Amino acid sequence: MTTEELKAREGVVYDPTQDCKLVGAARALGGVKDAVTIVHGRPGCHCGVLLLRALGSNQNDIRIVSSGLRAQDMVYGAEGRLTESIRLSYNNFKPALIAVLNCSAPAIMGDDVEGVVHIMKDEIAAEIFSLSTGGYEGPAWLGYEETLAELTRFMVRSETDKEKDKDRINLIGFKQDDFKAYSDFLEIQRMLNGQEIAVNTVLTNSRFAELKNAPDASLNVVLGGDGLESAKIMQEKFDTPYVVAPYPFGLDNSIEFLDCVTKGLNKETDHDFISAEKEKIKERVERIFLFLQGIYDTSVAVVGDGGRAFDFARFLSDELGLYVKVLAVTSRNHVSGDKTKCDYVGSLLMEPDRLEMNEEIRKKGVEMIFGSSMEKKLAYELGAPLVRIFYPIIDEVSVSDAPYAGFRGVPQLTEKVVNAIINNYTEM
């Protein structure tokens, strides 16, 4: 960076695109349907993850409570408050699992969270564990990975006939609070059923008992690389193989997803099923071919997490013919580094500062942004339409069964993109 650029940045606050470790852990635990998450930290930590959950997900299924830590506890500690919050959480909600997320303030204070958890294990019937999720300890993707790895401690192989379950898989890296998550899962499940493959457990979009039985599956399917560490642990502990499959955005990614799964199960892919799905997509998309010709080579930016952004950018480039000038990966994972040489994007930014990212998008003359609610201001400044695809989305809702993933997601995404462009008004 030149001296002039350094001077221009004087007084500028660093604004990372990635969230803190607490957010990643809370997202993973939010998908355990009968778990309660206790945020042991200052009110701001609890408020942050609570709002993200409430505004971007099912508002009747939040299950995030605070330990009640206050300013005066910074001197004497808050083990007593944490003990009582665990007790009250169990008595009021009767969860199968309680997870305590220890935040920066009590971690610096030296609260004995592990000691509290050890004592409470003898008092309550639920399983309980704690994770250190201070903001200074790492980004969100590490919190997500460590949480899934911690959940493998509770897994046990049931005494079932293994031959009976040979075509059952676990989905790893599925985030229940992603936009369209509910409908995406239904479509992924339908696609797998079309190959006579059943879903055993979803990490994390299952009840705790289902998570414990994850070793009953014969293959782990890691979506986009998210949750890879847990798949490696299960391979070592239970001898369960794994494959890393793309998130099925678009036709090509959906076919590759199915091929990865069937190959991992030593099955033949049912190409008749895929051919029938292709025909359905073709029949729908052909209706608007003039609009598709009109948007060809539109300059766009994709801003999203590493587990899905690469696959989404590939769909935009290879299937819709858009020019992905900027791909900004806001949160990486263990395989993101293997994807950096992709030829379908112009400029690739890995976990950039938001100022750096915004400057790059402005410089490239982007006409459309695919991102989250966090890109709303930038899109407004550029007069560009914003299509919300990635977490967090807090200014748009989804209650229908229309997916973005899979074969059925292709017409939905195509419709969304075309309408966003032709409905955008900029004063000439």
Report, as an integer, the average pLDDT of 35-54.
Answer: 88
pLDDT at residue 129 greater than cutoff 80: yes
Output the six-digit token pair for 344.
Answer: 């379908």
**Which two three-digit tokens encode residue 200?**
């055993």
Q: 32: closest CA among 212, 267, 153, 197?
A: 212
Cα 366 from Cα 346, distance rounded (Å): 11
Q: Domains of the chain (ranges plus CATH)?
A: 21-154 (3.40.50.1980), 162-282 (3.40.50.1980), 295-396 (3.40.50.1980)
- Asked if 65 and 93 count as a contact pair (C-beta separation under 8 A), the reply is no
Q: Is the pLDDT of residue 163 over 70?
A: no
Arithmetic mean of pLDDT over the chain: 91
How long a stretch of residues is the chain?
428
pLDDT digits 0-9 by tens, 369-423: 999 999 999 999 999 999 999 999 999 988 888 999 999 999 999 999 999 999 8
CA–CA–CA angle 250, 392, 96 (5° rounding): 100
Q: Could you read off the pLDDT of 75-95 as tens digits, one per residue?
A: 778 889 999 999 999 999 999
Q: What is the pTM of this model?
A: 0.92
- pLDDT tens track for 235-269: 999 999 999 999 999 999 999 999 999 999 999 99
Residue 9 pLDDT grade (very low, low, confident, very high; cuts 50, 70, 90): low
Sign of the CA dihedral running 398, 399, 402, 403: positive
Assess whether pLDDT exceeds 60 at residue 7: no
* Confidence at 45, pLDDT banded by 50, 70, 90: confident
Residue 289 host element (H or E): helix 289-294
Half-sphere exposure of 342 (CA within 13 A, CB side): 28
73: Cα separation from own chain's centroid: 34
Phi, psi of 123 (to 5 degrees): -100, -35
The mean per-residue pLDDT over the stretch 337-345 comes to 87
Q: Residue 99: which pLDDT band, with cuts at 50, 70 and 90?
A: very high
Q: Cα separation of 150 and 140, whole Å?
A: 15
Cα–Cα–Cα angle for 142, 391, 190, rounded to 5 degrees: 100
The pLDDT of residue 330 is above 90: yes
DSSP E strands in 273-394: the ranges are 299-305, 323-331, 345-350, 368-371, 386-388
Q: How far apart are CA 109 and CA 360, in angstroms?
A: 40
Looking at residue 117, its amino acid is V
Q: For residue 102, what are its two tokens?
A: 């220890």
